[in-house]
Structure 1
Amino acid sequence: MRHGIRRIGVCSILAAGTLALAPTADAVTPTTATISFDCGLYGSGAATLTATQNGTSATINLSTSAITAPIAVGANSVKSTLTLTNKGAGTVTFTGSSNPAIPAGSPVSTGPLSGTVASGDSLEGKSLKVVVMGITVTCNATSAQTPGPFVF
């Protein structure tokens, strides 16, 4: 019986050590922010940005009432480019062509949009370009991100 208990104890210690050494994902704060966009003839409105980070890779999902789909849009058919300023100077671009199916008249959702970040990057939305069925819509930020920029 003692031999079995000793084996369980050693295995538990090894498992705990493995968990302690496992790499952790980097954290971005805040994880969710809002910003307003003006998309010219296509409308204006708020957008919700949700960011995640894993090392130097980051993704942002975006949903905005600034652009609505005039007709039903199929999944993975929206090409998007989100440009963010980095500490007020320079830019970082997130791109992708992944989206859920969007019913006619519904707000556009896109993402995950992928980009590369460095530790200490402080990114705030600047512009959004969306291409749907060959139509390009360019939106410019009209407000600061709330509660603030994404810090990686």
Structure 2
Amino acid sequence: MRHGIRRLAFCSAFAAGTLALAPTADAVTPTTATISFDCGSYGSGSATLTASQSGTTATIDVSTSAITAPISVGANSVKSTLTLTNNGSGAVTFTGNSNPAIPAGSPVSTGPLKGTVASGDSLVATSLKVVVFGITATCNATSTQSPGPFVF
């Protein structure tokens, strides 16, 4: 009986120590932000940015009413670059060519756009470049990112 109690105590202590040493999940806050873009002759409107992080790799999905598809666009055919400032200076880019199929007249969605981040990075979107069928739309931010920067 005494041996069983010792083993139970050891296993309980070991489990508690293991849980305390378990790595924490990477987190970005906020996970969703909005911003407005002006895309020149292609339009203007709001965008929703959704961020996630795994280690030093981060992804951002973009859905924006600033650009609508003039014709149906097939999946994985939109090439996008989202540029963000880091802590008020320096640029970080997120790129990708992944998108769902977009019906004609619908807002453009693109992502995940992938980029590299470091702990403490504070990123605010400044521009979005979207290339569809060889046509490039460059969009510039016209509002502040709300509720604030993505902090990794």
TM-score using structure 2 length: 0.89
Identify if the C-alpha distance between structure 1 residues 14 and 38 changes in structure 2 by more than 3 Å, giving closer, same or farther.
Answer: same
Q: How many pairs does the alignment contain?
A: 152
Query: 2:24: which partner in 1?
Result: 24
CA RMSD between the two structures: 2.1
Query: Residue type matched to 1:126 in 2?
Result: T
**Is the partner of 2:99 in helix, strand or coil?**
coil
Residues of 2 paired with 1:42 and 1:143: CA distance?
18
TM-score using structure 1 length: 0.89
Query: 1:135: which partner in 2?
Result: 135
Alignment of 1:112-151 (within 5 A): 112-151=112-151
Post-superposition offset of 1:13: 7.0
Residues of 1 paired with 2:12 and 2:97: CA distance?
45
Stretches of structure 1 that go unaligned for 5 or more consecutive residues are none
Percent identity between the two aligned chains: 83
Post-superposition offset of 1:54: 1.2
Identify if the C-alpha distance between structure 1 residues 112 and 8 changes in structure 2 by more than 3 Å, giving closer, same or farther.
Answer: farther
Query: Residue type matched to 1:135 in 2?
Result: I
Q: Deviations along 1:51-70, whole A, 9 cap, x unmatched?
A: 01111110000000000000
Residues of 2 paired with 1:33 and 1:90: CA distance?
20
Identify if the C-alpha distance between structure 1 residues 36 and 15 changes in structure 2 by more than 3 Å, giving closer, same or farther.
Answer: same
Please tell me whether residue 65 in structure 1 is matched to residue 68 in structure 2: no
Query: Residue type matched to 1:139 in 2?
Result: C
Residues of 1 paired with 2:67 and 2:10: CA distance?
58
Residues of 2 paired with 1:72 and 1:16: CA distance?
55
Query: Residue type matched to 1:145 in 2?
Result: Q
Residues of 2 paired with 1:68 and 1:102: CA distance?
9
Query: 1:44: which partner in 2?
Result: 44
